[in-house]
Amino acid sequence: MATIKQVASKAGVSVSTVSRYITHKGYVSAEAEVKIKKAIQDLNYSPNISAQSLKSKKSNLVGLLLPDISNPFFPMLAKGVEEFLREKGYQLILGNVNEDREIIKSYLQFLVQSNAAGVITTVDFKEEFPEFDLPAVTVDRVGKKSEFGVFADNSQGGFLAAKAVVEAGAQHIAVVRGPLTTDNTNERFSSSITYLNQADVNYQVFQSMSYDFSEIQAEAEELLKGKERFDTIILPSDVHAVAYMQEIHRLNKHIPEDIQLIGYDDILMSKYVSPALSTIHQPAYEMGHEAAQLIYKLANNQSIDQKQIKLKVFYVERGSTRKIKENENE
Amino acid sequence: MATIKQVASKAGVSVSTVSRYITHKGYVSAEAEVKIKKAIQDLNYSPNISAQSLKSKKSNLVGLLLPDISNPFFPMLAKGVEEFLREKGYQLILGNVNEDREIIKSYLQFLVQSNAAGVITTVDFKEEFPEFDLPAVTVDRVGKKSEFGVFADNSQGGFLAAKAVVEAGAQHIAVVRGPLTTDNTNERFSSSITYLNQADVNYQVFQSMSYDFSEIQAEAEELLKGKERFDTIILPSDVHAVAYMQEIHRLNKHIPEDIQLIGYDDILMSKYVSPALSTIHQPAYEMGHEAAQLIYKLANNQSIDQKQIKLKVFYVERGSTRKIKENENE
DNA sequence: GTGAAAGCGCTAACAG
DNA sequence: CTGTTAGCGCTTTCAC
């Protein structure tokens, strides 16, 4: 690796001139510029990032801490973050944190130690780890106390899901609540419940404990073998819905005739399972993109008009819900 | 951020003693140790990574450059890399490079400038960008010239796929070749062809140009509306297979009765589409894990017994291929 | 065992 | 417009 010193001597100028050239700060004569350009070329020089960052106390690293990158919802979000950041010249540090506080902590530690420009997390850590002082925006699972957040309209989503199944004739509904009691799940859930309460239907609530496929399947088995016969299940995620779907198939029941299903997220897979999954679409890519933009503004002291960005969701009707309103008994 | 100097003065020792304590190199008396420990605690000190890396000319960053993180095969691989690296105290820099040479180049640039410990890529760049001198291991799409590589047994995979469909009674086969003419796709392909040649079947070859879902669907439409009637299609990936599946459904044909399908990769989704997709299982997580381990050894000058690691693949029979041997005419 | 001091590569006053 | 210089925070001889 060539250094700025070598470039300077090769170009016959001082290091500060080279530095000025590189950082585009201060004046550099045309002749000097030519010589420097050539020297850089010849030496295949590029500035040492550690040295730059040591000096400037800044780096262009941005962390993205995700609960589980193999959950299909998150890669899309990551892509949104990555593409925005790359254009702005930032680098993404990806962390797969499994909800594990220690892992989260060690990533935050690293980011702080690296003078990172900021971090995008799925869970607000400011309360738990106030010692890590770096620009942060929460995505998806945005809580009341998060200062900066990007999330989808959960209350609208919960409402739409409940409305969709009720209008499709649901009478006896199982509402499966998401595994985390994070604000986003809570909101969706209570919004669904509010709708259900005012509608003329029966429902019962179940609590899921996991986003892991096989664990969800076990829960599904449990729910389905209970004495209650449901004609509709509202699920907290598409991963849940697909797992339930499998289980329902295994019992030789028909979707949506015997049981209708509605998911949440609209992951890629949902379109291709059979029947295709009706669900609430969340703009994962956009969430990532917006979050990255917020971090960017934060890191560059740009004015922020909206600290909390709420994105729209919408209902996607596919094959797992019934098309027309109809009454059925159990 | 506290500095080592502050810790030193607070502990009443010199910076070098603190440094020795931190790096576990050289002697530190028990008393000094206690005082330093306390000072670090009080000041919530952690070493500045830029300074460390400037001095040591090393960093614990490892790049992982992936073609498309929203392609479900890669997140599993990424997870394998991430989990190994995290345990060893390295940080993952994730790049979503879209096969774009410029993006790849800029990531490599960054990694070199950061004294990164190494990079794991899906495509060997040594030939195209020899100027980037850092430990590299190629995963998945490992070519002949890659020095360090982790890949699945493509030739075995291609063979297994062809064998599976032939044994299930294939007579008229469309072999869709993967979009990249990378060594892995080539190997699979020619291995399938070799098998097909010695079997008593007809086949025809098609070339796919994309991993993008909707583009594949267009290709599928093209292939299926041709005058040739195939009873079997061998696809280069599960994403391809799922896209074809959709298209076949749309034409109201039955899988596997009218057409049988075999994919490649065994992504999560394959189990849950309908019918479930028969495919060749590739150990994505393990590939990532092994690649990370190689990088780790490389970065730490450990002896490497195997520069090229070939992982096993196996056939997963599910619903998209016929169970028993049977003859059919078009 | 410990501290003083040099220096990693870069930037930013500052003087010219 | 340019060069000299100090110093970012850390590690590492080398004397003591």
What is the reported pTM?
0.91
Give B326's pLDDT tier (boundaries 50, 70, 90): very low
Q: How confident is the model at residue B99 (pLDDT cuts 50, 70, 90)?
A: confident
The pLDDT assigned to B329 comes to: 45
B175 forms bridges with which residues in the sheet? Answer: B205, B234
Instruction: With a cut of 80, say whether residue A330 has pLDDT above it.
Output: no
- Taking CB atoms and an 8 Å limit, are A114 and B213 in contact across chains? no
The 10s digit of each residue's pLDDT in A266-293 is: 998 898 888 899 999 999 999 999 999 9
Kindly list the residues from chain A whose CB atom is less than 8 angstroms away from the CB atom of residue B88. none
Are A88 and B78 in contact by the 8 Å Cβ rule? The answer is no
| Percent of all residues in chain B with a pLDDT value above 90, rounded to a whole number | 82
For position A51, what pLDDT does the model report?
95
Q: Which helix (H) or strand (E) is B77 found in, with range?
A: helix B73-87
Q: What pLDDT score was predicted for residue A326? A: 46
Nucleotides of D under 7 A from a protein CB: 1-5, 7-13
The reply to whether B10 Cβ lies less than 7 angstroms from strand D is no
Beta bridge mates, A96: A66
Residue A256 confidence (pLDDT) = 93
Q: B109 beta carbon < 7 A from strand D?
A: no
Candidates A267, A272, A277: best to mutate against B (most CBs of B within 10 A) is A272
pLDDT band, very low/low/confident/very high, at A170 (cuts 50, 70, 90): very high
B54 touches strand D (CB under 7 A): yes
Cis ω for the linkage preceding A135 (within 30 of 0):
no
- Per-residue pLDDT of B261-317, as tens digits, reads 999 999 988 988 888 999 999 999 999 999 999 999 999 989 999 999 999 999 999
CA gap A18, A40 in Å, rounded: 9
pLDDT of residue A324: 62
B55 touches strand C (CB under 7 A): yes
In this predicted model, what pLDDT tens digit does every residue of B18-75 receive, in sequence order?
Answer: 999 999 988 899 999 999 999 999 999 999 999 999 999 999 999 999 999 988 999 9
Amino acid at A273: V
Residue A49 pLDDT greater than 90, yes or no? yes
pLDDT at A328: 46
In B199-281, which residue ranges form alpha helices assigned H by DSSP? 213-225, 238-250
Q: Which residue, among A156, A155, A153, A159, has the nearest Cα to A309 in the 3D structure?
A: A153
pLDDT at A325 over 50: no
Average pLDDT of chain B is 92
Share of chain B above pLDDT 70, in %: 98
Chain C positions with a protein C-beta closer than 7 Å: 1-5, 7-14
Tell me how far apart the alpha carbons of residues A185 and A165 are, in angstroms, rounded to a whole number.
18
Q: Please check the confidence at residue B325 and state whether its pLDDT lies above 50.
A: no
Considering only residues 24-53 of chain B, list those whose CB is below 7 Å from strand C. 26-29, 31-32, 51
B301 CA vs C16 C1’ separation (Å): 50
Pick from A50, A98, A106, A109 the residue to mutate for testing the B interface (most B CBs within 10 Å).
A50
Q: How far is B27 from chain A (nearest CA, A)?
A: 25
Q: What is the DSSP string of A175-229?
A: EEEPSS--HHHHHHHHHHHHHHHHTT-EEEEEE---S-HHHHHHHHHHHHHSS--
Please indicate whether, in this complex, the C-beta atoms of A110 and B49 are within 8 angstroms of each other.
yes
pLDDT score at A192: 96
Q: Give residues 138-197 of chain A lying near strand D (Cβ < 7 A).
A: none
* pLDDT, tens only, A304-323: 999 999 999 999 999 999 98
Of the candidates B218, B237, B230, B222, which has an alpha carbon nearest to the alpha carbon of residue B255?
B230
Interatomic distance A20 CA / C15 C1' (Å): 17
CA distance A177 to A302: 39
Q: Look-up: residue for tokens 């595994």?
A: A179
Nucleotide with the nearest C1' to B14 CA: C3
Per-residue pLDDT, B323: 83
Task: Please check the confidence at residue A43 and state whether its pLDDT lies above 50.
Answer: yes
Nearest in space to B110 (alpha carbons), one of B67, B64, B148: B64
The CA distance from B188 to B196, in Å, is: 12
pLDDT tens across B179-227, in order?
A: 877 788 889 999 999 999 999 899 999 999 998 888 999 999 999 998 8
Question: Is residue B23's beta carbon less than 7 angstroms from any atom in nucleic acid strand D?
Answer: yes
Contact A70 B103 (CB under 8 A): no
Nearest nucleotide, CA B54 to C1':
C8
Task: Give the nearest chain A residue to B212 (CA atoms).
Answer: A268
Instruction: Mark yes or no for CB contact B268/A46 under 8 Å.
Output: no
Please compute the mean of the pLDDT values over residues B75-98 and round it to a whole number: 93
Interface test with A, best of B91, B211, B247 (most A CBs within 10 A): B91
β pairing state of A279-281 and A232-234? unpaired
Per-residue confidence (pLDDT) for residue B328, from 0 to 100: 46
Return the pLDDT at A181: 74
Structure confidence at residue A37 (pLDDT) = 93
pLDDT 10s digits, B265-280: 999 889 888 889 999 9
Give the pLDDT confidence score for residue B213 in this predicted structure. 87
Of B50, B131, B273, the CB nearest to A50: B50
